């Protein structure tokens, strides 16, 4: 394996402009929340002053309880002890409990979190930095997480859903036997199969399954795993949740940021609701207020103000943050400095800065995670033979295809020359026409539009003819595009980590970690 390129997010068309502007400190008010050692230095002091020792002790106790069934490495045990110390801070990423981890970027974001901690320790030796994976165990959209893909197969499990996915018990293990058939002859296939059987043993919950799997992959790196579905952790959120129920504070406080982001970038990733909390019973349902009573959507459950506050006081574990409240929860129970997430995550975090100020919680540094792409040498050879570069596959590929089809085409060159001449002639004609009668000037403009449309039609017909004539070249280009973008999207959003682990084992993880960039956001392309 060798890295052949690292492409900046700024040079990739599909990266949202909001993320590019954030990285380049072009969004007013967020200049100090991008990756830099100076920003981390500021963040350390902010968090140190605001995160009480009592919170550290609660977190340490919760983590010890949640991880007690796992076999922990010496680095994990050391990090558990360090959490109690005032000079220890976390770097966090979070993700859903996808079946067998889901798309491979799940692995990349955790590895970047681990490497960021190492980098910070090298630069701030007087402090400890602990990598944390926050499990989205309370999400209730099972259909989003109940499957994964390899190069050859699609795997899915069927369970009863509707409540927090982390509490779902595994009964359907058919996917394991099918997975075994695909990987039993791979170099590291046995290791993968054992991982899956251990994690997805019938009777385990999905929370337990992901905990076991993630620990198997990352324990030696010192990663700690947090389950937010915890009464002890939510007990610390009662004041904030109460304010949300009574005053709709998140929506009101983030209104200006949402308006700004909508006006400048078209839309926001997640629109705040009046109440950004769910209620947990056997299912997870939104809480709404009708002016008199609080009702649980799709449930025959209602509370008066007094009753819902009493419920919160006695059972904080029954109140579940939505996508926008979860970052608030996380930053209040962890001594956290930075969050590493995908583009969509970063975009909704940006909505929350004013709300963080209102509740006196330090807003973290935000780090758009790196992307990785593994390509076979054979594919890279084909790209080179067609006189293309890997970067070409991250621009508008249909435009590139058109250019390739019509390269050095004499008719196209003649059409473009005549089109330019036509535009020049009409420009001169319009200048004279504007000094005569207005209707004549309009007629000239209309005729220019008509004739230019004819040139566009001719170029379109020419492209169509060339596609038929050069069908073999077109097919090669389209197949190469699918090699780089399986299912017409980024590889990391399609394939599961098993595709790569099956051939390289833990050395693949080490290689990813080595090539990972921490101080910038890039697409890292590696030849295999």
CB atoms within 10 A of CB 55: 16
Give pTM, 2 decimals: 0.89
CB atoms within 10 A of CB 276: 24
CB atoms within 10 A of CB 200: 23
Alpha-carbon distances of 370 from 137, 235, 254, rounded to whole Å: 24, 34, 28
pLDDT score recorded for residue 475: 81
Question: What are the helix (H) ranges across 24-104?
Answer: 37-50, 53-67, 74-82
Total residue count of the chain as it appears in this document: 528
Do the Cβ atoms of 168 and 139 come closer than 8 Å? no
pLDDT digits 0-9 by tens, 453-507: 776 776 566 556 556 656 677 788 888 999 999 999 999 999 999 999 999 999 9
pLDDT score recorded for residue 407: 66
d(CA 528, CA 509): 14
**Which residues touch 125 (CB under 8 Å, ≥6 apart)?**
none
Alpha-carbon distances of 214 from 20, 114, 171, 485, rounded to whole Å: 31, 13, 21, 26
Which of 366, 329, 364 has its CA nearest to residue 226? 329
pLDDT digits 0-9 by tens, 15-60: 999 999 999 999 999 999 999 999 999 999 999 999 999 999 999 9
Torsion sign, CA atoms 420, 421, 424, 425 = negative
pLDDT digits 0-9 by tens, 329-376: 999 999 999 999 999 999 999 999 999 999 999 999 999 999 999 999
Burial classification of residue 267, based on how many CB atoms lie within 10 Å of its CB (0-12 exposed, 13-18 middle, 19 or more buried): exposed
Q: Domain residue spans in the chain? A: 9-236+323-369, 377-493
Q: How far apart are the first and last CA of the chain?
A: 5
Q: Which residue positions in the chain have pLDDT lower than 50?
A: 412, 415
φ and ψ of 367, to 5 deg: -125, 105
Please give the DSSP secondary-structure letter assigned to residue 9.
G
């Amino acid at each position: 394996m060798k890295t052949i390129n690292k492409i900046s997010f700024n040079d990739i068309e599909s990266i949202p402009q909001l993320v590019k502007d954030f990285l380049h400190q072009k969004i007013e008010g967020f200049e100090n929340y991008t990756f830099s050692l100076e920003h981390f230095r500021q963040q350390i002091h902010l968090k140190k002053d605001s995160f009480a020792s009592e919170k550290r002790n609660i977190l340490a106790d919760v983590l010890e309880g949640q991880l007690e069934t796992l076999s922990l490495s010496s680095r994990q045990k050391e990090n558990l002890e360090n959490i109690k110390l005032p000079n220890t801070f976390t770097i966090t990423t979070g993700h859903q409990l996808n079946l067998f981890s889901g798309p491979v970027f799940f692995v990349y974001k955790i590895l970047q979190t681990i490497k960021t901690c190492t980098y910070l320790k090298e630069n701030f030796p007087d402090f400890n930095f602990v990598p944390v994976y926050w499990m989205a165990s309370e999400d209730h959209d099972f259909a989003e997480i109940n499957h994964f893909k390899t190069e050859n197969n699609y795997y899915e499990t069927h369970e009863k859903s509707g409540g927090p996915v982390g509490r779902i018990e595994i009964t359907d293990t058919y996917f394991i036997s099918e997975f075994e058939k695909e990987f039993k002859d791979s170099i590291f296939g046995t290791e993968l199969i054992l991982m899956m059987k251990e994690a997805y043993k019938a009777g385990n919950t999905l929370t337990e399954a992901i905990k076991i799997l993630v620990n198997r992959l990352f324990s030696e790196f010192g990663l700690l795993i947090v389950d937010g579905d915890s009464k002890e952790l939510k007990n610390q959120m009662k004041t904030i949740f109460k304010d949300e129920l009574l005053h709709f504070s998140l929506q009101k406080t983030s209104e200006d940021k949402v308006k700004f982001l909508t006006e400048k970038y078209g839309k926001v990733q997640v629109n705040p609701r009046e109440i950004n909390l769910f209620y947990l019973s056997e299912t997870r349902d939104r809480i709404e207020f009708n002016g008199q009573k609080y009702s649980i959507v799709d449930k025959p459950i209602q509370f008066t103000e007094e009753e819902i506050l009493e419920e919160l006081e006695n059972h904080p574990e029954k109140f579940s943050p939505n996508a926008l409240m979860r970052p608030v929860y996380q930053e209040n129970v962890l001594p956290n400095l930075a969050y590493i997430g995908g583009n969509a995550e970063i975009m909704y975090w940006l909505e929350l800065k004013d709300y963080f100020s209102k509740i006196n919680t330090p807003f973290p540094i935000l780090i758009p995670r790196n992307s990785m792409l593994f390509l076979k040498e054979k594919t890279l050879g084909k790209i080179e033979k067609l006189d293309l570069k890997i970067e070409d596959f991250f621009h508008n590929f249909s435009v590139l295809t058109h250019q390739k089809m019509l390269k050095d085409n004499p008719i196209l060159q003649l059409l473009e020359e005549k089109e330019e001449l036509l535009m020049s002639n009409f420009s001169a004609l319009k200048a004279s026409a504007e000094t005569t009668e207005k209707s004549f000037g309009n007629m000239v403009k209309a005729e220019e539009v008509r004739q230019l449309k004819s040139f566009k039609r001719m170029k379109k017909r020419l492209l169509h003819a060339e596609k038929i004539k050069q069908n073999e070249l077109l097919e090669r280009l389209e197949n190469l595009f699918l090699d780089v973008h399986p299912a017409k999207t980024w590889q990391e959003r399609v394939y599961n980590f098993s595709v790569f682990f099956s051939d390289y084992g833990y050395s693949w993880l080490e290689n990813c970690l080595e090539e990972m960039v921490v101080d910038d956001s890039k697409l890292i392309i590696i030849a295999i």
